[in-house]
Structure 1
Amino acid sequence: MSEADADPNAAMDDNRLQPAFLRAIESALNAEDEGEVRALVKPLHPADIADLFEQLDADHRTALTTALGRDLNADVLAEMNDWVRDEVVGELAPEHVAEAVSEMDTDDAVALIEELEPAEQEAVLDELSADDRVAIETALSYPEESAGRLMQRELIAVPEHWTIAQVLDFLQTARDDVTDFWEIFVVSPEHKPLGTMRLSWLLTAPRWLGVSDVMQRQQTLIPVDLDQEEVALRFQKYALISAAVVDRDGRLAGVITADDIVHIIAEEAGEDILKLSGAGDGDIFEPVVDSYKARVRWLIANLLTGIVSASIIASFGATIEKMVVLAALSPIVASIGGNTGNQTMAVIVRALATGQMTNANTRRTILREAAVAFLNGVTIALLLGTGVALLFSNAQLGGVIAAATVFNLIIAGLAGVMVPLGLKRLGVDPAVASSVFVTMITDSMGFLLFLGFATASGLAA
């Protein structure tokens, strides 16, 4: 192995593993040269090692897991894609997983263990110390995607009556238990949070000064069962670096930090986009059968909505027979309506997800989107109606398609607002089911309005 091979920068290009490096790893794995594999991997950052696992196929992942052995540590597992980590953990002995879990922060440990099968969970938990097991089992008792699952238990908490000198002395003794923190929590004798103290205040305040003179009493507290999406919104709204998590009795249970929230924001944003498209988790490492199950139900739903639209067209068969051009033009009205509905729906789903849309501004938002849809409808109707009238030398046909377009775009705009709102009121995630209903409404109304206006106007008589 050359000196360049051992250089982590030589293995990377634009923060990605170079193809030559991947080929070298695969060659060493095929040759079962575990020493060479470890030498190649050793200079890499844990996140890059996790990326390496994701770039390899299943057989090479298994071989890499075996080759790394104990070098496959907690930092690497914490950075892995969930599906890939499940594969890798399945190849490890319970004591190896337990060793990695014991080195992780509570939130990372919970994220790893919660994805295991019950039997695997129990085997790993049996290998943990009593304290670690209690901490993880307590976190697992909270709802999925809640603050209780997300929080870290490793934090610094001090009483209000201490001096700055006492806090500094305490930090010297606690540095082995908590290595990374941005603020210190001040608690009552009942362990209820009273305020916070930033590290900058601690380091610049006189040693004789009391904690109560330096602390900030106003703070944002996160209930332990609050959904992680709501947690992310609070961090964004109040520009938080970290926040205390309190249990149902108001006692300090843990802390959530900004680095955890970055992952949540990215995860929730991607999740909503994938839900709107009906693509399930949308993870390229997800098993084929799981992806199939997630996607096929929405395709079936779209099939049913397509049947509704086809039935409407069929009911105007006599009109279409007399003027075949109607069959060619009707999809245009439906398609433009669908695009309008999807635009509005995307705006509303995002507003609901970010907390921008509330009971106070719902009516105003509905009127706003209706106005936007009307203006869009008039603009498109003028262009489409004029074009059709000139192309087919039929002003009446141009007027009919223009009228249908205006009305369908207004309906589409209202559907894009009302469907997500209605689903939200029913307790259904609007990102999951809105697309199917909005598409059905816009397509059906597009065909119904255009063919209905054409029939009523005697255009095809």
Structure 2
Amino acid sequence: MKETDAAAPTDLAVRDENGHLNADWIQAVETAVKANDAEHVQELAGDLHAADSGELIETLSREDRVALVQLLGEGFDYTALTEMDEPVRLQLLEDLPPDAVAQGIGELESDDAVFILEDMEQAEQDMILAELPSVESSQLRRALEYPEDTAGRLVQTDFIALPPFWTVGQVIDYLRSATDLPERFYEIYVVDPGFRLLGAVSLDKLLATKRSKKISKIMEETRHLVRVNEDQEAVARKFERYNLVSLAVTDDADRLVGIITVDDIVDVIQEEAEEDMMGLAGVGDEEISDSVFETARSRITWLVVNVFTALLAATVISMFENTIDVMVALAVLMPIVASMGGNSGTQTMAVTVRAIATQDLNKRNLWRVLRRELLVGLMNGIGLGILIGIIAATWFANPELGVVIATAVLLNTVCSALFGLLVPMTLNRLGVDPALASSVFVTMITDVVGFFSFLFLAAWWFGLPF
């Protein structure tokens, strides 16, 4: 082991006053890692929370990441792998010895282990699973067979299930003596001999009941449960709607296969929100740590689609080439009309996409929401139209031109409100993710309507040639 600089600090705060990782602390860790000083690395980063550890690893170079994990040894919490970007995680798993990865994953809760394994190649998965005990390996293989983004992938197989004929005293004595209990648990699940779920008993109720009472007498029927193939968004909505801490997961035969806890659902909610936000910008599941090539590839698809939608808008403009030649002011003002419509449409679209994702928008309230958006578009269109009309009339000393652009802005704003709602709804009906595809089509429609309405009205009002 090499000695690090004696002046290297070990009492630095991990995070600064703004909540970011302390730059001096990161530098100290890098110095200790490069010096191969395991003792100093343990002092600096041995007791980190998994979230801090994951963020630290992301800041290091690829070589230093591996060295840090190896210097931490058994002190490294592999839960940190769930706290870092996928490209960084896959690189680190690729560089670490399979037996060390298998040992680390074997110590994780099953849902965290599945989260790490699911992004790996099949050959790498098999290599890791082969290193695990047969029981753990079979549980993880079964979880990996469930479709992505379903409850089965979030299942935690460490839970407590007991028969209904046990007394409260037996249950308490068991909990005190057992050595393989989950790290955290909130309920005791009651199952029959076929492991079919009968009900659950919360810990507070268990501790407040006399020892002689059977748990079948105090258990509550599990009203909120999910199937293994249920979409994770639906699971998240149940947690949100009913303020749940944990939720039982059953298979099609009503057998209890595991539980989902609220900490995992917080990650799901964040993931789905990020997915919608990134989709609206047309960048898919891009990570900040992706390479230049991967980033360019993830963005190019919708940019190519946008080329053709832009050509459609350009075609509309070309139809009024003679009109623009006669009145050059139209070329100056027409981007304003399209821009106002595009911004208005984006506002309506964002609200609609989110309402679809949360299932707040449905057949019962569609017409009410549509009427509201049209009225909002009408009010905003009148206000913006008057403002822009006055500006244009003053700018070009032409009050009639102000009337024309004001009318075009009004028409395009109302149209954008209409299609900002209808486009996401239609895409959703067709099975296309509205978050990913809506912005391209809404922008195309507002551009086309904006250019056409303004140029057509100008040509008609001033008697210009088409």
TM range (shorter): over 0.9
Correspondence for 1:12: 15
Correspondence for 1:448: 452
Alignment of 1:258-337 (within 5 A): 258-337=262-341
Cα distance in structure 2, aligned partners of 1:309 and 1:156? 62
Correspondence for 1:365: 369
1:415-440 CA distances to partner (integer Å, 9 max, x unpaired)?
A: 11111101100111110100000010
Confirm whether residue 113 of structure 1 aligns to residue 149 of structure 2.
no
Contact 1:5/1:11 (CA < 8 Å) preserved in 2? Answer: no
TM-score (ref. length: structure 1): 0.95
Cα distance in structure 1, aligned partners of 2:75 and 2:7? 21
Cα distance in structure 2, aligned partners of 1:421 and 1:174? 53
Residue 447 of structure 1: SS of its match in structure 2?
helix
Task: Return closer, same or farther for 1:35/1:247 CA change in 2, 3 Å cut-off.
Answer: same
Residue 285 of structure 2: SS of its match in structure 1?
coil
Contact 1:107/1:150 (CA < 8 Å) preserved in 2? Answer: yes
Correspondence for 1:208: 212
Cα distance in structure 2, aligned partners of 1:43 and 1:108? 19
Q: 2:258 aligns with which of 247, 254, 258?
A: 254
Q: 1:182 aligns with which of 186, 202, 220?
A: 186
Cα distance in structure 1, aligned partners of 2:144 and 2:68? 30
Residue 165 of structure 2: SS of its match in structure 1?
coil
Cα distance in structure 1, aligned partners of 2:71 and 2:110? 27
* Number of residues of Structure 1 aligned to a counterpart in Structure 2: 460
Contact 1:4/1:10 (CA < 8 Å) preserved in 2? Answer: no
Alignment of 1:349-428 (within 5 A): 349-428=353-432
1:314-357 CA distances to partner (integer Å, 9 max, x unpaired)?
A: 11000000000000100000000000100000000000111111
TM-score (ref. length: structure 2): 0.94
Residue 9 of structure 2: SS of its match in structure 1?
helix
How far apart are residue 389 of structure 1 and its match?
A: 2.2
Residue 23 of structure 1: SS of its match in structure 2?
helix
Contact 1:184/1:198 (CA < 8 Å) preserved in 2? Answer: yes
Correspondence for 1:81: 85
Contact 2:110/2:140 (CA < 8 Å) preserved in 1? Answer: yes
Cα distance in structure 1, aligned partners of 2:113 and 2:300? 33
Unaligned runs of 5+ in 1: none
Cα distance in structure 2, aligned partners of 1:406 and 1:136? 58
The code of the aligned residue for 2:253 comes to D
Cα distance in structure 2, aligned partners of 1:186 and 1:441? 57
Correspondence for 1:236: 240
Cα distance in structure 2, aligned partners of 1:309 and 1:114? 43
How far apart are residue 5 of structure 1 and its match?
A: 3.5
Contact 2:46/2:72 (CA < 8 Å) preserved in 1? Answer: no
Cα distance in structure 2, aligned partners of 1:365 and 1:190? 49
Contact 1:302/1:436 (CA < 8 Å) preserved in 2? Answer: yes
Cα distance in structure 1, aligned partners of 2:186 and 2:300? 46
Identity of aligned residues (%): 43
Which 10-residue stretch deviates more, 157-166 or 221-230? 157-166
Correspondence for 1:61: 65
1:164-201 CA distances to partner (integer Å, 9 max, x unpaired)?
A: 11211232344424221111112233322222211111
How far apart are residue 442 of structure 1 and its match?
A: 0.5
How far apart are residue 93 of structure 1 and its match?
A: 1.3
1:39-93 CA distances to partner (integer Å, 9 max, x unpaired)?
A: 3222433322222101112232233234334433323334333222211111111
Confirm whether residue 52 of structure 1 aligns to residue 56 of structure 2.
yes
How far apart are residue 2 of structure 1 and its match?
A: 7.1
Residue 259 of structure 1: SS of its match in structure 2?
helix
Cα distance in structure 2, aligned partners of 1:234 and 1:307? 45
1:264-283 CA distances to partner (integer Å, 9 max, x unpaired)?
A: 11111111101100122231
Contact 2:190/2:219 (CA < 8 Å) preserved in 1? Answer: yes
Residue 216 of structure 1: SS of its match in structure 2?
coil
Cα distance in structure 2, aligned partners of 1:386 and 1:76? 59
Computed over aligned residues only, the root mean square deviation of the Cα atoms, in angstroms, reads 1.9
Contact 2:286/2:298 (CA < 8 Å) preserved in 1? Answer: no
Correspondence for 2:146: 142
Correspondence for 1:41: 45
Residue 13 of structure 2: SS of its match in structure 1?
helix
Which 10-residue stretch deviates more, 189-198 or 442-451? 189-198
Cα distance in structure 2, aligned partners of 1:79 and 1:193? 33
1:212-268 CA distances to partner (integer Å, 9 max, x unpaired)?
A: 332222520111111111111111011111110111212111100111111111111
The code of the aligned residue for 2:14 comes to A
Which 10-residue stretch deviates more, 65-74 or 107-116? 65-74
